[in-house]
Copies of this chain bind each other. A is one copy, B any other.
Amino acid sequence: MIPVSEARGHLLSLVSQLETEEVPLAEAAGRVLARDVQARRDQPPFTASAMDGYAVNAAEVELHAMFKVIGEAAAGHAFNGRTGAGQAVRIFTGAPVPEGASFVVIQEDVTRSGNLITITDTPGANPNIRPRGGDFTDGQTVSAPRLLAPADIALLAAMNIPSVPVTRRPEVALISTGDELVMPGGTPGPDQIIASNTFGLKAMLEGLGAHARILPIARDTESSLRTAFELAAGADLVVTIGGASVGDHDLVGKVAQDLGMERSFYKVAMRPGKPLMAGRMNGAAMVGLPGNPVSAMVCGHVFLTPMIRTMLGLPPEAQQLQTAALAAPLAENGPREHYMRARVDGGRLSAFDNQDSSLLSILADANALLIRPPKDGARSAGDTVQYLPL
């Protein structure tokens, strides 16, 4: 058996960052910036008022001072002139501050009568002016890689970047294998169950920014598996589920090898999810996951997620592991790293009693995978442990 970290290393060596494509900014949220981009202007592009009020010379600002209003500056409508001594320009938030002015007295501090204003409340020290380039300057960089969040999209818009270079979405083909499976909506025979892993993995991988196709179920025959692999053509990552161990009914590895894959089997010191198969085939990475539903989903979090992130040009790990205090004691762990289905509530973490790797109902109730290192000793309530948030 090899440690989880070593297996992950093998899998990550099968993939690398994909090509770059240009997408309109309005469609770039959730995509990964692939190249540094530069602001195409200063923001603000001029010295701007931060408030509604009157622009004057700062040296003249004091209680009871009077000014003559000689014009108006609104956002998008500069005042084309300058303010001299005793002069003010009515100004609105975001408008260019006229030449000669260096202070905006907010309207609440002023009494106006016709074209005359009097400062009737002591203005604060803040000149209420935003310097040119105070947010960003022409040429300022937004660095890649970066998973573009809503605030990034707003920033790139303000920088006048109408389209952005992002990493192409990884294409994933998902193949479930086994004579026991029928698709949802089908009519299972008495010894059959419904295929669920491909549906759960598609949702998971698409949430990361991949595009996943669910292929028809491959039956436990060489020809059916060969057909499935053919249908996976064009994918960057082919994931099979089930039939990947070295047991009597595991044809997937044989067929993949016949089709030119240099495959490796990994017995990973991990619960759930011990057997993994991996290799490269026709330019695609290929991973064979175990067929138990929870094993497949946990392997999706632990192995496929860092592979997708690598293809997107991101660091493999989405986040540092979190820590929380145990709500109840745990017995000592065996020789395998255990990803226990758990719930974290109010900062305390509880593992579910039943950790059988077939129980999707428990996985759906979990919001954390409590990680127990191999041979971790017994733990008491209150002990701090690590978990991966789901």
Residues in chain A within 8 A of chain B (CB atoms): 25-26, 28-30, 41, 43-46, 48, 50, 52, 74-78, 92-96, 130, 134-136, 140, 142, 148-163, 178-181, 183-186, 188-197, 199-204, 206-207, 214, 220, 247-249, 291-293, 297, 300, 356, 358-361, 363-364, 366, 390
Contact = CB atoms under 8 A, between A and B. Distances in A.
A122 B156 CA distance: 65
Contacts of A214: 26
B154 A360 contact: yes
Contact of A196 (B52, B142, B154): B154
A339 B332 CA distance: 45
B291 A76 contact: no
Contacts of A150: 200-201, 203-204, 207, 297, 300
Contact of A191 (B77, B134, B185): B77
Contacts of A41: 188, 194
B196 A360 contact: no
Contact of A249 (B75, B179, B360, B363): B75
B190 A78 contact: yes
A77 B178 CA distance: 10
A134 B359 contact: yes
A291 B157 CA distance: 15
- Name the residue among A152, A157, A291 with the largest chain B CB count within 10 angstroms: A157
A135 B203 contact: no
Contact of A153 (B44, B45, B93, B199): B199
Given A149-B203, A157-B184, A92 B194 contact: no
Contacts of A186: 160
Contacts of A153: 199-200, 202-203
Given A41-B194, A75-B291, A142-B364, 7 more contacts: A45-B188, A74-B249, A76-B178, A152-B364, A155-B200, A157-B200, A158-B196
Contacts of A249: 74-75, 92
Contacts of A189: 76
Given A44-B358, A160-B184, A193-B94, A363 B154 contact: yes
Contacts of A192: 45, 76
A150 B296 CA distance: 12
B77 A196 contact: no
B26 A202 contact: yes
Given A92-B249, A356-B50, A151 B364 contact: yes
Contacts of A44: 193, 358
A360 B191 CA distance: 58
A41 B358 CA distance: 15
B360 A291 contact: no
A160 B194 contact: yes
Nearest to A197: B154
A199 B154 contact: yes
A5 to B, nearest CB: 22
The 7 closest A-B pairs by CB, nearest first: A154-B200, A76-B180, A162-B185, A76-B179, A29-B203, A157-B196, A75-B180
B26 A360 contact: no
